[in-house]
Structure 1
Amino acid sequence: MNKGILQNNSTVIAFVQRVLDIVIIVSCLWVAVTLEGLPWLIQHTTAALLAVFLFHFTSELDELYISWRGLSIIKELKKVVSHWCVCVATLFLSVYFLAPQYLEPAGLQLSWFVLVILSLSTYRVILRLLLRLLRAQGINTRTVVIAGAGHLGQKLANTIVTHSSFGLVFSGYYDDNRSEDNVVAAQTLGNLELLIKECKEGGIDRVYIALPPHAYERRNWLVKELSDSTASVYIVPDIYTYQLLHARSDSIVGIPTISIYDSPIDGSNAIIKRVEDIVLSMLILILISPVLFGLALAVKFTSKGPIFFKQNRYGVDGKPIKVWKFRSMNVMEDGAKVTQATKNDRRFTPIGQFIRKTSLDELPQFINVLQGSMSIVGPRPHAVAHNEEYRKLVDGYMLRHKVKPGITGWAQINGWRGETDTLDKMEKRIEFDLDYIRNWSLLLDLKIVFLTIFKGFVNKNAY
């Protein structure tokens, strides 16, 4: 079976991590049961097996067990914590609704949850530190050279040198043209013919080909010649030219592709995001139900018109959705031209300005979240008329629709909400929206939800 050209490295370390994760999940439950003074029962065995299955299922989908050489420990830990949170949420919610006494007392569940997070994270940090020490002694390192001393090759070289803990030792450049930069010129070991000769002699572990796009014939020749050596060869695509949005590699029946505009909320991440939305929105709706009822009465009896205003907005992938809000104005604008609310707007109902300034008008959007058309955290949805206007003015504007729109977002807690009366304000909002999509994680979502309590409801720009 053709598995494609681009494959993740499968290492002994990855195998050891799989085994350790199983041992930790099971042993931490045993420790938690022991601390509670309980005997080990069949339900504990079942819970441990289900947890192991769920954790490894989501981890394999999200490619947790890859070679993390050169990748961030923070990113790895975020993935670990996210997958364990999804696993625990699924397991504990199932137990709560199907068999409430299955994993009692509640302290057992909390102890197991915390012990596993601490153990999974701690051993990974220790493993990274151990590998760093070994690589500092010259063990488990790789000698690398870069074919191409242009801007792309220099960017790669600087990254390798800066992050010595990756275990990559930069030896120099090979390029047919002499660089005008004296430092780069001093690090250039020779031309591409010399590179081929030295690779065939076996003195180089890795070659990163960072030639510019217009040198494709020279690159193809180099790749062919290096096939007669034992060096590992990597092609570095010049993707820095583009405004990347969660770039990643993929393959279609063996044909490698690189996405430059993509969403991080896919596969297991989509499951994580949906579980997060359902759990949080249900809890919040239960807590705020008296407030919703009171606001509904206030809207109804202070002005003529419906309680709710359902406005057309763009959802994920630009598909139309109906966004719920408490009506705050005497008009129901939803056409080709929508006038943004301004300070002391005459269109406000008696309580309209108050509920908009405090964001209480947006509370019904938790219903949108339960329906699946919105998320709790994501770029705020704009009116369709505003989308059509700003997509022509702001580069990358429509990329914010690669994820579901949210009730709160990264831009909002950083102060970029309310009226966008200048293009600069909208550009800044889009900048934060795209930054959120690039760096999405469960922990980032929880951080935004927490900060919304202090920064997101009342804002000087909200009216």
Structure 2
Amino acid sequence: MNGFGEKSGDGAVPGDVDAVALAPSGFSEPGMDHSAIKDKPLISQRVISDIMMCADGVIIFVSALVAKWAYIVVVLESAPQIEPYAVIGMVGAVFAVGTMRYRGLYDFNVLSEIRGQAKRILIGLAVAALMLVAIGYLLKISGQYSRGWFTVWFAISAVLVFILHFINARILRWLGALGAFARNIVIYGSGDIAQSLIRRVSMSPLNVRVVGIFDDLPRGQRGQVPVAGGLSDLIVFGQSRRIDEILIAMPMTNELRVANLVEQLSLLPADIRICPTATAFRIPPKKLLDYGGLAVLELERRPMEGWGPIIKNAEDRFLAFLLIVTFAPLLLLIALAIKLDSRGPVIFKQRRHGFNHEVFNLYKFRTMFVTEDGPKVKQAQRNDPRITRIGRFLRKTSLDELPQLFNVLKGDMSLVGPRPHALAHNEYYSTVLGRYANRHKVKPGMTGWAQVNGYRGETDTPEKMRGRVEHDLWYIENWSVWLDIKILIKTPFYGFVGSNAF
């Protein structure tokens, strides 16, 4: 490898880029076991902002009820119904939060600094109070509510919301110092663009951390910045460490090379962006970004950002647990039938590639007399003599897949996603089908968009697999909760049975 060295202790890039020799800590030669090398997941700034917005709304609403008890019940010794105050409290919370959001209070950079938040909070509460007064006057209901309660409500809200934001800002600054919000970026390239990019990133307030520099240099040639390896080393590194962004830093004189780089790097679950020196670019970018004055084009985006992974994980765990409880009697009956039908284990385990090519053990009910999990795995065929009597029924109805609910509960799989294949099949199709490996940018699923569209059963030729891969990639690029629900609803009718299942 070229220019191997040590990175700075906190992972940041020193200002003297000419002396930088970035070699990611924990990086080893290709082929070694990287299972022990894990990075903490990146904390989403969007999630933090949304949580704070919801927390403010809850505080303002609860403050209305607390003010009602403290002023009307305790001070005035009256006991009116709580419902009218709850309704006004909810409406006031919506108005206040909406105004504070409009004023930019929930921008992550604003949340991280104490200065400037108090003004936005007070303006939001004041606007909400004025709107409620106006509504009460127009509807002629203002006389039904105590002005003392109204004042106490907004005073409590202002104090509690400001305390929450003060504590939150201190926590965010502490987490920021630990690098919890820093995006790990890898630069591919070692010329003038890479050198300028590293210098500008190190001098700018961007919350990013360069964790490696890679390039494929001709023998005997040295780049302007030290590199830790070539493209293959970058891919190995990305499969063992968390990479949030890959920046291609090279001239756009060879678009074919850039296109090939994007195609090979797109198997990693990371944003792919390019910092070109020319404006002509044939590949349509998804977004234009500003990196300290340098134009950066985003070519590929990681799937399911922000709330996406959290929602999908909650959806998977909840539904998997519910389905396991519901199907428990059926699971026991199938296990008993398998045990009585033929000798061997009830559960068949086979190694499969999961998210970011991590290998996991997939669970299935055993449907054959043999349990293949080696370098060569023969796919089941129609009238396959290896299939047991009960196994034929289980495969026809896909009931043999039910134990994968435990894979979902463990976090190895998702209810909806690209179907995982045996390691031998994965390695073969990765070499004959372009973008096949991109399926591993999300967790594999028990069912998927390909399965409910008829791509199910034997895939003994690249042509049969190509249609499945195209549907899997479309699902990854267009994922939504509603698409998952649609696939789950269609699965019992199109994904469990069919002429291709045997």
After TM superposition, the score normalised by the length of structure 1 is 0.49
Larger radius of gyration: 2
